[in-house]
Amino acid sequence: MKKLITAVVSLGLMIGTASAGTDVGADIKAFQGYFKKQNPSVEFADYTIGVYALDAGSRDQFEEILDGIPPYEEAVEKGGEEFEKFGLGKCSALKDPAAARLAHPYYDDAAGTVVTLEGTIRRCYTEQTGKKMGTMKGKIARISSWISDQAAGEKINVKVESDGAKAAYERGKATFYAKRGQFNMSCADCHVYNAGKKARADILSPALGHTSHVPMYRAKWGGIGTLHRRYGGCYKNMRAKPLMAQSSEYRDMEFFHQAMSNGIEISADRYRK
């Protein structure tokens, strides 16, 4: 009996320690502080434009593209029409699109899982139409872009509060910093420690602000894609096998990834090279 009590108390202490060890505020401070130290001349608010905040030449090109008709404009408008057409506003979670963008991702304590904006859109779409929706491009990316546009100018503010949320955040953090694939590199190796440096002809984008403009239009894709589509691409580049978009691992990573950009403005300028 004594042994059993000791075991239960030890287990409780272990769980308590894991939750107590999570200090999201300190993590954000350290993460954002790192970028400030590395790039002292870059304003915090400028990280909303990602890599274009770090390279003047690229920024000029980016601004030129935005001065004309951005290549994603039509797709985003179509996303708005599809939002109406499929009756997505009838779902309580999407009734106020701007609020929906700001509320996601969040940890659903009842379901014990991270809920992403794309996850909510897909669920609502199925409720309204009885059909399934993809996860990486097409309708999901257009609708999600249009919803995000409604919150442009607002600041990312991911909340990590419950023990379940903290555990998901910690899992996402580990995924972000874990080395993987044949190149034995983590997300952080490129987008934190080497952000702003060149990988072949490309400048590595800073992870701070990565989620301000998602889903993003990529010239390489010739269209809009979700954040999880991009995760898959990065995995492939590291010669790791990509996980399924909207898998629990990617959702947890998005939870961490978005939280690191708390305070950065959501942007409708979703063009990236």
Partner 1 sequence: MKKILLTTLTVFALSTQAADFLPSAHNWNTGSSGDAFSAAIGAAEADYASALSASMAWRDTGAMIKEAKKLHKAGKVNAATALAKKAHTQAINALAQASVAGSAGPSF
Judged by CB under 8 A, the residue of 108, 154, 163, 249 near partner 1 is 249
Q: Which residues inside 47-86 make contact with partner 1, applying CB under 8 A?
A: none
Q: Looking at 51-59, 60-68, 93-101, 235-243, which segment touches partner 1 (CB under 8 A)?
A: 235-243
Q: How many chain residues bind partner 1 (CB under 8 A)?
A: 27
Assigned token pair, 238 = 């590291």
Beta bridge partners of 225: 137, 216
Quickly tell me which residue has 């401070």 as its tokens. Answer: 29
* Of the residues 6, 9, 177, 219, which one makes contact with partner 1 according to CB under 8 A: 177
Q: Give the residue, chosen from 137, 139, 155, 180, that forms a contact with partner 1 under the rule CB under 8 A.
A: 180
> 3-state SS of 173-188?
HHHHHCCECCCCECHH
Q: Which is nearer to partner 1, 54 or 240 (CB)?
A: 240
Q: What is the DSSP letter of 185?
A: B
The residues that bridge with 216 in the sheet, in sequence order, are 225
Q: Which long-range contacts (CB under 8 A, 24 or more apart) does 199-202 make?
A: 202/273
Catalytic annotation on 234? yes
Contact between 181 and partner 1 per CB under 8 A: yes
Q: Does 240 bind partner 1 (CB under 8 A)?
A: yes
Give the separation between CA 91 and CA 111, rounded to whole angstroms: 18
- Interface residues with partner 1 (CB under 8 A) are 30-31, 34, 173-182, 184, 186, 188, 192-193, 235-236, 239-243, 247, 249
Please list the active-site residues.
Answer: 234
